[in-house]
Amino acid sequence: MKDLSAYKNAFSVIETPFYFYDTELLQRTVDEVSRASAKYGIDVHYAVKANVEERLLQIISAAGIGADAVSGNEVSRAVECGFPKNKVVFAGVGKTDKEIRQSLGIEAFNVESLQELEVIDSIAGAEGVMADVSLRINPGVDAHTHKFITTGLEANKFGLVPEEFQAAADLLGRLKNVRFTGLHFHVGSQITDIQEVFSQECARANEIAGFFESQGLKMEHIDLGGGLGVDYLTPDQNPVPDFELWFRTLSENMPRREGVRLFAEPGRSLVAQCGSLITKVLYIKKRTSKTFAVVDAGMNNLVRPALYGAYHRIDNICSQAPAEVYDIVGPVCESSDVWGTDRPLASCGRGDLLAIRSAGAYGSVMSSSYNLRDKAPAYFSDDFNI
């Protein structure tokens, strides 16, 4: 992984804003997730929603990792980029009939309602195939994270809640075109209380697995979802997240059942740190109380700060000058189009390039053309001779 300032000349001839992906760092991250998951006997499925760039998906699939999709198009993209269809799982509260039909043959539909289970059974029956299904459970575990990325509470729309378990077990006993393969949990994202949150998740998952076993339903896997947080404050100190601690916590807290594999679905933790959004300073606006640096990347390119108040570290890759304090703002006509307030940044002027760091996850995938602005294209470190 090279310091981004090494690319400053190469970047200066590229139209901004653009995403830059350090493929060497992604490879290191993939190697570490593979090492740690093998050590603790956990099968990894990459949550494709975090980033769908073909080049990144190819690096991840080449490591033998599976995919976790949340739309029919994500299932197709994963397969096109090298993930075997029988290693793709598919979650989502609103799967359409078309998405279900085109996804038959995947490793598991993570079913989110009783009605969806019946619909999958009827579509599989009409196509003359069996569909492998796993039940997505809403475990009632608080992820202690932002409310927009908490998913495992009864107030959230995801999964089946306890009062539906008996009916789900009965239905699985009756339906002829679905095969029950396991349970699926996911409590939220950007989780930093790793031991506390994931041990609670495992305790609930264990209890719930016990219920389904008591109904005579045999599981082949228990999927504990994603959620491992990354270091947005100091990405250079922690470029590779602590997969060892996460998998150890899952492994130590989830009692093993014979023949039942454990799955994990990291999204953010695989791809966040390898991506930066590179933007150019357009104008410096000095006021008595503050100085604005107006840049050419906006909330349409990376919406996390405007949507969740998310923090991204920002570096001036063109200057080593002493720091000054700026409000760094984008060009979109919304007051929430702000990258950071009161940020110390190496003194900058028009034309300097800034790197908005840790932007590889939930960045380009959530971009829009709001204000009729261009989407930011992607560049990859292995295309530069540096």
Ligand X SMILES: Cc1ncc(COP(=O)(O)O)c(C=O)c1O
Q: Which is nearer to ligand X, 91 or 219 (CB)?
A: 91
Least distance in angstroms from the C-beta of 154 to ligand X: 17
Q: Which is nearer to ligand X, 226 or 331 (CB)?
A: 226
Token representation of residue 151: 């998913």
Binders of ligand X among 293-352, rule CB under 6 A? none
Query: Does 68 sit near ligand X (CB under 6 A)?
Result: yes
Least distance in angstroms from the C-beta of 269 to ligand X: 6
Q: Which is nearer to ligand X, 353 or 361 (CB)?
A: 361
Site string for ligand X, 246-265 (x = CB under 6 A): -------------------x
Nearest residue to 319 (alpha-carbon basis) of 271, 289, 284, 363: 284
Q: Which is nearer to ligand X, 203 or 366 (CB)?
A: 366
Q: Which is nearer to ligand X, 139 or 225 (CB)?
A: 225
- SS3 letters for 142-165? CCCCCHHHECCCCCCCCCECHHHH
Least distance in angstroms from the C-beta of 206 to ligand X: 19
Total residues at the site for ligand X (CB under 6 A)?
16
Query: Which residue from 72, 139, 182, 225 is in contact with ligand X, where contact means CB under 6 A?
Result: 225
- SS3 letters for 263-322? EECCCHHHHCCCEEEEEEEEEEEECCCCEEEEECCCCCCCCHHHHHCCCCCEEECCCCCC
Phi-psi region of 64 (alpha: psi -120 to 50; beta: other; left: phi over 0): left
Nearest residue to 279 (alpha-carbon basis) of 259, 310, 301, 258: 301
Least distance in angstroms from the C-beta of 229 to ligand X: 8
Least distance in angstroms from the C-beta of 266 to ligand X: 5
Residues in the chain: 386
Query: Does 227 sit near ligand X (CB under 6 A)?
Result: yes
Query: Which residue from 36, 47, 224, 314 is in contact with ligand X, where contact means CB under 6 A?
Result: 47
Bridge partner residues of 135 (DSSP) = 111, 183
Binders of ligand X among 179-208, rule CB under 6 A? 186, 189
Bridge partner residues of 132 (DSSP) = 179
Distance CA 378, CA 365 (A): 12
What is the contact surface with ligand X in residues (CB under 6 A)? Answer: 47, 49-50, 68, 91, 186, 189, 225-228, 265-269
